[in-house]
A and B are shown apart, each in its own frame.
Chain A
Amino acid sequence: MKVSNARVCVLRIEGTNCEEESYLSFKRLGAKPEKVHLKQLTRTDVTSDEKRSLADYQILVLPGGFSSGDYVRAGAIFAARMKSRLSRDLVEFVRAGKPVLGICNGFQILVETGLLPAMSGIMTEVPEAVLSTNDSARFECRPTLLKKVNRGSCAFTTKIPSDKISAIPSAHAEGKLTFPVDRAKRVVKELADNDQLVFKYVDPEGDIAGYPWCPNGSTENIAGICNREGNVFGLMPHPERVFFRYTHPDWTRNPDGAGDGRAVFESVLDYVSKKL
């Protein structure tokens, strides 16, 4: 399908607040994004021309923010609301090979929904992981460096060279990807074997490093993962914030080229143009 026909559903509820920049990231590349309230998909309190159907879109984006205030656990309320009304639509969407992107709060929502890591099936009934409170126990807004560790399965990183260190900033209080303690090692190995690991936090030399390079204490410095098929992808850092070079934190030292986040959006649109 042509990129200009690719419809992108940027889904939001109260407290979602990175929808504008996520929307623009697709618009700038010629796709057709739309900001859609969850109630438009569940058809609650809406007029007939506000009703939407998930099946009409090619890409689903869950942007960053603090959906419903993240008061229970980050992403838990959005996930519960989505799962209770849209489970079947979501499973269909993923099964059709359509890409789903969760950034920051969106990643937390995907994990809470069971769409990631989704090691057994498209959407697990209970979450298999959690994004827990940062080791520093506070919100961390800082530049982070990511190394791509994905070997090719992920639809969102095909345009990122494997040796590249991408500067994509983080801003979250709950980003420590955590697995059940008794089988964390096994799970991570399985994720690696399945090519579900996508990004790791590294230092400027590209080596695994501690705080503040890894802002949250995430298991094995994991910053982003995908499902087995590679069409559902979640990450804590914000690629939409570095679409352009001039929003990089050090751009005045190094002003040339595109922003490091742009390749994520280019990759998935390339995937859509070839596979859908």
Chain B
Amino acid sequence: MSSSRLYVPQDTPFELTEIKLSKASDDELMEISRESGTGLSLDEMRRVRNHFDGKGRNPTDVELQAIGQAWSEHCCYKSSKMFLKEYIFGIDNRQVIDRGDAGVMEFDRDHAYALRIESHNHPSAVEPYGGAATGIGGILRDVLCMGAQPIALVDPLFFGPLNYPFRKLPAGVKHPKYLLGGVVAGIRDYGNRVGIPTVSGGLWFDESYTGNCLVNVGCVGIAEKRNIRRNAVRGPGDVLILVGGRTGRDGIHGVTFASAVLTEDSEMESRGAVQLGDPIMKEPVIHAVLEANEKGLVNGMKDLGGGGLSCVVGEIALAGGCGAEVDLGKIPLKEEGLAPWEVWVSESQERMMLSVSPKNADRVLHIFKLWDVPATPVGKIIREKRVRLYYDGTKVFDLELGFLTAGPEYCRPCHVSEGTRRKKERAPKAKTKYDKDLLKLLSDQNICSRDWVIRQYDHEVRANTVIKPLHGKTGHWTHGDAAVLKPVEESFRGLAVATASNPFAVAGDPYRGGKTCVDEVCRNIAAVGARPHSLTDCLNFGNPEKPDRLWQFREAVRGIGEVAKDLDLPIPSGNVSFYNESPRGSVLPTPAILGCGIVRDIRKCVTSDFKREGDPIFLVGETGPEMGASAYYRSTGSHSSKVPDVDTAALRAGMDVIIRGIERGVIVACHDVSDGGLAVASAEMCIGGDVGANIGLEKLGRLRSDVKLFNESNSRWLIEVRKGKEKLLPKDGRTKVAKLGRVGGSSLVIGSSRRLVDLEVGKLAKSFGSTLWRMVG
């Protein structure tokens, strides 16, 4: 550190510095913030100074660093909390069991499931393999620390276009192909090694992600209700046992790195903020933690993520109404010579904190020893709500938790950017044949087969994956809408897991786009025969200090919250990731939603592949002229500001028709209509079943042919009904259920009087299947 008037090294055998805040000028306060890497604003620095003035002393470097972590956007949600409180937090029902590091929901009488999704964007942009791998590691711990066995991973990913010209790449930015390859390899090597199936996810490509890719990771777990734990200590006297990996210099200032815009120099400056993953430490940690917990030896636990020990100790203690004393010298280190502040804020991976009654400590330590996992008592819980740290017998930290955890909350300016002109509406030319357009859409990076990615992930380890991400006739496959797990051995009850995002719709109209994302995740869940039950969201946006970015955030959250509330879908966990910007601008506003649904009997589930020649095909739901943000308009360079809206009552009614139809065994194949509309949905169903279909569009009313083919109106499904059972299809007098045609032949033919599309299934499959293999294979 540069200036001796601000920093006074203490006379200790280890590195400890007093920071002279008390008389510091505003300029000096900002100098301290910058040099310490804490990223605190001037107002926040003044607050810190006033607090210590009141105590009559200056902070140590350990204390200032801890405050920087606790008050970062990443940790305290200072820009987003206001909106989340207004639109998301209030949705509640009796099925919500806990809202901790992961949300916990009721699964059946005796079981609960946990769910959470979060981002690992900035680390992945700098170091894709390690960034993505440690993202998986972190989300597993979030679920594990609720006492749940992780059973499924999901990973929505967003990159720049794979054919992005190298010469156009901004300085310091890695090519999307390299990033995709690295991220997929990171998820593969970590997820496969820990033995948790990756069952769902998604890939989106847009130029805006070129400088700042988005890597979101979600996890779902299952537990007997009696094993669910809170992220809280039981009371004074509890022993804090740190288990898992050793602490090192990797991952220092990860949260502050996540709470700033990426720059040309991020690679050089922030490499050290990316943690190193070790799945073969994590795998036994999962076993040992669950074993200790199932034996009733653990009072509460919490994972070490952003902010490391500095966040976890205060939070787990305060959640139990207590404080803590920790001996920093006892923390097992990767290397010698770490300063106390580094130990305190390091985000080294594979670590969890267990709060244990003293009488159980030895039994806990024994379990970890058997698994060769380090486990060390590092502190104890005290009655006072404060944290004290000692190092070599010297007190280096003494702060009230009330102050440390009372991060600022902002009501930042938020409005549409001034001077935005409405883009002119521009429709594509009407045509008589759409064969080429359909093939182009099927091979579009945003639509094409994801098998190149999916087959690198083990999606059926644990042998509970009943509906897999790819399905179809042996040797053929198409995309499914949701995966279904059968998590309890003695029961046929299933848990559906689906992922959805539509950044294009959110960019076109954040409010409708937010609603669309929830509609899509619900459609996906219903399409396999499950009832939507809960959501968790990862909200990836730009710099919240810019009013237009924050406006997008507010509108999207309002849309998400409204639909979720109408459908009584709690959002018991989630994550906000701001500052997803590079010098080229912000990413598209991107809410990624992970939804869970309940299936009463997994033996009734259906997949999207067409099953049998002769079966009739129906469209469920209304089709309107809403081409805004559609894949077809994007692929033809057209524009419409009319982004599809969501009518929640229609969505609820449509889902009911679908779910009851599946439960009755009438619907034998079902696919939600999304990117690329009816044409792409029917093509995908043909590809999976390796069979053709004849589809007429007259019943869609008076709309342009291309609108009928490619429109992405919400709340719609294409279904195959068992021949002769049409009459058993549920009717509610409200939902439009229109018979369009039949399964059969070797080609997909759309349009009865005039053939708008006439393509052999083999040709469809080739277009659909080859893009990723060609571009990154």
Contacts and interface: CB of A to CB of B under 8 A. Distances in A.
B193 A15 contact: yes
B194 interface: yes
B195 interface: yes
Contact of B460 (A20, A145, A247, A255): A247
B369 interface: yes
Interface in A49-70: 50, 64-66, 68-70
B192 A138 contact: no
Interface stretch (A39-47, A111-119, A179-187, A218-226): A39-47
Nearest to B610: A253
Nearest to B484: A246
Contact of B466 (A24, A203, A247): A247
Given A21-B463, A171-B458, A15 B283 contact: yes
Contacts of A171: 192, 458, 460-461
A68 to B, nearest CB: 6
A257 to B, nearest CB: 13
Contacts of B464: 247
Nearest to B606: A252
A14 B369 CA distance: 12
Interface string B440-476: 0000000000000011111111111111101111110
A30 interface: no
B463 A240 contact: yes
B269 interface: no
A14 B195 contact: no
A180 B605 CA distance: 48
Contacts of A204: 474-475
Contact of A69 (B280, B486, B605): B280
A44 B194 CA distance: 24
Contacts of A255: 603
A266 to B, nearest CB: 17
Interface in B517-571: none
Interface residues of B, number: 46
A81 to B, nearest CB: 11
B457 to A, nearest CB: 6
Contact of A65 (B195, B454, B603, B607): B195
B231 to A, nearest CB: 26
Interface in A212-255: 238, 240-243, 246-247, 249-253, 255
B74 interface: no
A20 B455 CA distance: 22
Contacts of A142: 455
A251 B474 CA distance: 10
B369, B461, B611: which has the most chain A beta carbons within 10 Å? B461
A59 B735 CA distance: 57
B474 A241 contact: no
Contacts of A21: 462-463
A169 B197 CA distance: 14
A141 B284 contact: no
Nearest to B288: A14
A253 B461 contact: no
Contact of B194 (A17, A47, A143, A167): A17
A20, A143, A250, A255: which has the most chain B beta carbons within 10 Å? A250
Nearest to B454: A141
A133 to B, nearest CB: 14
A17 B195 contact: yes
Contact of A169 (B188, B460, B472): B460
Interface in A136-159: 138-143, 145
A66 B193 CA distance: 6
Given A17-B194, A171-B461, A246-B603, A139 B471 contact: no
B349 to A, nearest CB: 14
A114 B406 CA distance: 61
B607 A69 contact: no
B640 to A, nearest CB: 37
Contact of A18 (B284, B461, B465, B489): B461
A252 B194 contact: no
Contact of A250 (B370, B372, B472): B472
B137 interface: no
Interface string A67-99: 011110000000000000000000000000000
A141 B474 contact: no
B366 interface: yes
Interface in A1-57: 14-15, 17-18, 20-21, 24, 37, 39, 45-47, 50
A138 B279 contact: no
Contacts of B645: none
A40 to B, nearest CB: 8
Interface string B119-132: 00000000000000
Contacts of A243: 463
Nearest to B193: A66
Contacts of A47: 366
A208 to B, nearest CB: 15
Interface in B67-125: none
Nearest to A69: B280
Contacts of A69: 193, 279-280
B602 interface: yes
Contact of B283 (A17, A46, A249): A17
Contact of A247 (B463, B606, B607): B463
Contacts of A18: 195, 461-463
Contact of B370 (A46, A140, A141, A143): A46
B777 to A, nearest CB: 9
B403 interface: no
A69 B190 CA distance: 10
A250 B466 contact: no
Pick the 3 closest A-B CB pairs, nearest first.
A17-B195, A21-B463, A69-B280
Interface of A: 14-15, 17-18, 20-21, 24, 37, 39, 45-47, 50, 64-66, 68-71, 138-143, 145, 167, 169, 171, 203-204, 238, 240-243, 246-247, 249-253, 255
26 contacts: A17-B193, A17-B195, A18-B195, A21-B462, A24-B463, A45-B370, A47-B366, A50-B370, A64-B461, A69-B279, A71-B280, A139-B192, A141-B456, A141-B458, A141-B460, A171-B192, A171-B460, A238-B463, A241-B460, A246-B603, A247-B466, A249-B468, A249-B470, A252-B607, A252-B609, A255-B603
Given A69-B193, A141-B456, A253-B609, 13 more contacts: A15-B283, A24-B489, A64-B461, A139-B456, A142-B455, A171-B461, A204-B474, A241-B460, A249-B468, A249-B470, A250-B472, A252-B605, A252-B607
